[in-house]
Amino acid sequence: MSSGAMIQLDQVNKWYGQFHVLRNVNLSVEKGQKVVVCGPSGSGKSTMIRCINRLEEHQQGRIVVNGIELTSDVKNVDAIRREVGMVFQHFNLFPHLTVLENLTLAPIWVRKTPKTEAEETARHYLERVRIPEQADKYPGQLSGGQQQRVAIARALCMKPQIMLFDEPTSALDPEMVKEVLDTMVSLANEGMTMICVTHEMGFAKAVADFVVFMDKGEVVEQAAPTEFFGNPRSDRTRLFLSQILAH
Amino acid sequence: MATDIAPHATAAELPPPRTSVGPLAWLKQNLFATPKDTVLTILVVLFLLWVVPPLLRWAIFDATISGTTRDVCTFDGACWTVIKMRFGQLIYGLYPPEARWRVNLMAVLVVLSLVPLFLPWLKQKLLYGAGVLIVMPIVASLILEGGWGGLQQVETNLWGGLFLTLLISFVGIAASLPIGILLALGRRSNMPIIKALCVTLIEIVRGVPLITVLFMASVMLPLFFPPGWSIDKLTRALIGVSIFSGAYMAEVIRGGLQAIPKGQYEAANAMGLSYWQSMGLIILPQALRLVIPGIVNTFIGLFKDTSLVLIMGLYDLLGIARMIVASPEWLGRSIETYVAAGFGFWIFCYAMSRYSQRLERKLHTGHKH
Ligand SMILES: Nc1ncnc2c1ncn2[C@@H]1O[C@H](COP(=O)(O)OP(=O)(O)O)[C@@H](O)[C@H]1O
Ligand SMILES: [Mg+2]
């Protein structure tokens, strides 16, 4: 593991009350790498990536992001959140703001970008996710796929170095999954450092540098996609893959 | 294949059938649609025929408004003369008639200061509102109380009538939102001391009637001030009303805060917004919108509850009405006086309720959930 890692988790442990949700999790992601995290529901995938931007607190071990260690120091947390964008399963767009306002809010208030510049950036990213014409609509007026693309654009507007995706396509109707995945693939091709929790195995094969399989709070297996899908080492991985690929 | 199916002809646009438009159709649809409707309609009409004519006779046809004393009144109809003669008092209380222009001036200033809040292009509405909240009380006490630069001093115990009712409710309403927001946020705070303080205050104030809060304010507040300091009755009432309405508002707002999905907080946090930024920009705008009916309900309740300042020796609209009824010149004309006072309350409550409906509709056009 090189010390130049963009994201580094060392022996991370976390409990919810008595429940041991993360067990000795280690992960190291270099700049520009794409990681796909998969595993059964309840295995701690969301918890792990939410620890990376401190939506959840870990209780043991070290998490270092972009050279800054996550501690209870608010300054560190703020510094990291400015560099880490997150896309949620349920989009979490702000329903009382227009698409454009959703995109410019954080740049204006957190990065102190002038409004006109923030709007220019916002329109640029709307173009990138191919919905420039929706800028003045409210999120509720868009389809699920469009909303998720707005959410991706919103995260990108902060010019983050790292993007976290937590099951970005699992709340979407099947016909909208592709448009969101396409956006993510093009983002990956541009060299963004990404961690995606997803069960879209096609996406994993296409872009992932390595796949992380979690079960019961542990990282069970970590391997390149060809290796992971072609020759899984652990029984738990094999069982999971057979269930996923069965339908 | 496609040729087997007859081409779909666009149906010609027809006018609606005659029976579904016009006043007759409206009557049929809304009042006589079913036998049950018909019976109900007839009963209601009979009831109105029984109640309305005597009311109209009393209030208008047999009523008196001429003259200047009780002698012109009859007992067949209302005697609006009392309202005519004491109108000034109902509006201004015992405020000296020659100084009443100051109240009017203040009313104009208040209305003018509110206008910018309705201008769509003013972006810093919150900042402006906070400014108004700080400046207005100072201006109001300078103009209304006087005692400087040749303005006659008017003690606050002379203030009364509709003017006092509006003053107290305005202050209560204006104070209740910021106090309520802070208390509601405090109640959901992670800091145990702040949380405990807010919960205690809210639960104590909500557990006792306003009349008790006012009583405590008038008896206990002086204890917190150094000896020799005195705060007048009106200030005590205003503090009591503000705390009371703030505590109620806190619970209304807390309901709104609880209805906001966790994902909204998470998205705001993940973007790096600070606590106050996410509250001010994301959470509160949505939460307040959700509870507009509750907020306005609290306003209306507060508006009517202001009459309880009577126990502190202040004469709001209802207090003045009672004073008039008790005066020897107008003994026996209590119905007219109370009807007029009630009408005064009703106009403002109705206006508030209508405004809230408009606001709700306006705020809901932008987005649907
Ligand atoms: N706030 C919480 N309090 C208690 N338990 C939680 C909380 N959040 C998640 N859990 C539990 O932790 C486990 C892991 O959750 P999560 O990380 O969301 O799993 P995944 O994303 O892999 O489906 C689950 O069993 C879940 O019930
Ligand atoms: Mg999850």
Q: What is the pTM of this model?
A: 0.83
Could you tell me if B339 and B269 lie in one domain? yes
Is B293 part of a structural domain of the chain?
A: yes
Residue ending a domain, among B110, B126, B153, is: B153
**Are the C-beta atoms of residues B316 and B94 closer than 8 Å to each other?**
no
What are the chain B neighbours of A92 within 8 Å (beta carbons)?
A: 261, 263-264, 266-267
Q: Whose CA is nearest to atom 11 of ligand 1?
A: A42
Could you tell me if B123 and B237 lie in one domain? no
Could you tell me if B240 and B166 lie in one domain? yes
Distances from the Cα of B212 to the Cα of B163, B176, B190, B275, angstroms: 24, 18, 31, 36
Cα–Cα distance for residue pair A26/A48, rounded to 1 Å: 10
**Residue range B126-132: mean pLDDT, rounded:** 86
Give the residue from B185, B81, B107, B102 showing the smallest Cα distance to B144.
B102
Is B66 part of a structural domain of the chain?
A: no
Q: How many structural domains is chain B composed of?
A: 2
**Residue range B56-85: mean pLDDT, rounded:** 84
Between residues 106 and 145 of chain A, which touch chain B (CB distance below 8 Å)? 106, 109-110, 138-141
**Are the C-beta atoms of residues A67 and A213 closer than 8 Å to each other?**
no
Beta bridge partners, A215, equal A218
What does the radius of gyration of chain A's CA atoms come to, in whole angstroms? 18
Per-residue HEC secondary structure of B286-312 comes to: HHHHHCHHHHHHHHHHHHHHHHHHHHH
Maximum distance among all Cα pairs of chain B, rounded to whole angstroms: 101
pLDDT-based confidence at B187, cuts 50/70/90? Answer: very high
Is B199 part of a structural domain of the chain?
A: yes
Is B333 part of a structural domain of the chain?
A: yes
Is B221 part of a structural domain of the chain?
A: yes
Pull the structure tokens for residue A178. 């592709």
Is B1 part of a structural domain of the chain?
A: no
Query: What's residue B9's pLDDT?
Result: 57
Residue B226 CB coordination number (10 Å): 5
Is B47 part of a structural domain of the chain?
A: no
pLDDT-based confidence at B219, cuts 50/70/90? Answer: confident
CATH of the domain at B285: 1.10.3720.10
The separation between the first and the last C-alpha atoms of chain B, rounded to the nearest angstrom, is 43
* Non-local CB neighbours of B104 within 8 Å, separated by 6+ positions: none
Could you tell me if B250 and B119 lie in one domain? no
Give the residue from A161, A165, A166, A168 showing the smallest Cα distance to A81.
A161
What is the distance in A from the centroid of ligand 2 to the CA of A52? 14
Could you tell me if B138 and B192 lie in one domain? no
Is B50 part of a structural domain of the chain?
A: no
Query: What's residue B31's pLDDT?
Result: 82
Query: What's residue B62's pLDDT?
Result: 84
Q: Is the pLDDT of residue B2 over 70?
A: no
What percentage of chain B exceeds 70 in pLDDT? 94
Could you tell me if B143 and B233 lie in one domain? no
Residue B334 CB coordination number (10 Å): 15
Domain that holds residue B116: 98-153
**What is the nearest CA distance from A178 to chain B, expressed in angstroms?**
24
Give the residue from A235, A190, A194 showing the smallest Cα distance to A213.
A235
Q: What is the mean pLDDT of chain B?
A: 86
Residue ending a domain, among B118, B136, B153, is: B153
**Residue range B306-320: mean pLDDT, rounded:** 87
Pull the structure tokens for residue B79. 């005697």
Cβ distance A109 to B285 less than 8 Å, yes or no, reads no
pLDDT digits (tens, 9 = 90+) for A26-67: 999 999 999 999 999 999 999 999 999 999 999 999 999 999
The dihedrals phi and psi of B305, each to the nearest 5 degrees, come to: -70, -15
Q: Which residue has the tokens 């009311």?
A: B55
Could you tell me if B208 and B306 lie in one domain? yes
Query: What's residue B256's pLDDT?
Result: 95
Cβ distance A92 to B367 less than 8 Å, yes or no, reads no
